[in-house]
Chains A and B, each alone.
Chain A
Amino acid sequence: MNTVLKAAAAYLVVLFVIRLIGRRTASQQAPIDMVVLFLFGGLSVSAILGDDHSFTGAMSALFTVGLMHVSVSWLKLRFVWFERIVDGTPIVVYRDGDWDETNMRRLRMQQADVRTAARQQGLDDLQKVAVAIVERDGKVSVIEKEQAA
Chain B
Amino acid sequence: MEVIHDDPPMPQEIANGFYPAFEGRWRRAELAGRFIMLGFVLVCAAGLLGHGPFSERELANGDGSIRIHYEPVVRFGAPTIIRFDTRVPPGGDQVAVTIAKDLVDQFGLESITPRPATWQVAGGGIRLVFPVQAGERHALIRFTGSPAFRGGVNLTARLDAGETLSWSQYAVP
Interface residue ranges of B24-72 to A (CB < 8 Å): 26-27, 30, 33-34, 37
Point out residues on B near A: beta carbons under 8 Å.
1, 3, 5, 11, 13-14, 17-19, 22-23, 26-27, 30, 33-34, 37, 77, 150, 173
- Nearest neighbor of B17 in chain A, beta-carbon distance: A92
- Nearest neighbor of A74 in chain B, beta-carbon distance: B1
Point out residues on A near B: beta carbons under 8 Å.
1, 16-17, 19-22, 50-51, 77-78, 80, 84-85, 88-92, 106, 131, 133, 143, 148
Shortest C-beta distance, A114 to chain B (Å), equals 15
Shortest C-beta distance, B54 to chain A (Å), equals 23
Q: A90 touching B18 by the CB < 8 A rule?
A: yes
CA distance A92 to B10 in the complex (A): 13
Query: B19 to chain A: which residues have CB within 8 Å?
Result: 84, 89
Q: A20 touching B33 by the CB < 8 A rule?
A: yes
Shortest C-beta distance, A95 to chain B (Å), equals 8
Top 9 nearest A-B pairs (CB, nearest first) are: A20-B33, A89-B19, A90-B18, A92-B17, A89-B18, A20-B30, A84-B22, A80-B5, A131-B14
Q: B34 touching A106 by the CB < 8 A rule?
A: no
Query: A88 to chain B: which residues have CB within 8 Å?
Result: 23, 26
CA distance A143 to B22 in the complex (A): 23
Q: A85 touching B18 by the CB < 8 A rule?
A: no
Query: Per a CB cutoff under 8 Å, which of B18, B150, B173 touches A91?
Result: B18
Shortest C-beta distance, B21 to chain A (Å), equals 10
CA distance A133 to B11 in the complex (A): 13
CA distance A77 to B4 in the complex (A): 9
Shortest C-beta distance, A12 to chain B (Å), equals 13
Query: A50 to chain B: which residues have CB within 8 Å?
Result: 77
Query: Per a CB cutoff under 8 Å, which of B3, B22, B26 touches A77?
Result: B3
| Given A17-B37, A20-B30, A85-B26: A92 in contact with B18 (beta carbons within 8 A) | yes
Query: B5 to chain A: which residues have CB within 8 Å?
Result: 80
Q: A51 touching B18 by the CB < 8 A rule?
A: no
- Nearest neighbor of B34 in chain A, beta-carbon distance: A20
CA distance A133 to B3 in the complex (A): 24
Q: B33 touching A91 by the CB < 8 A rule?
A: no
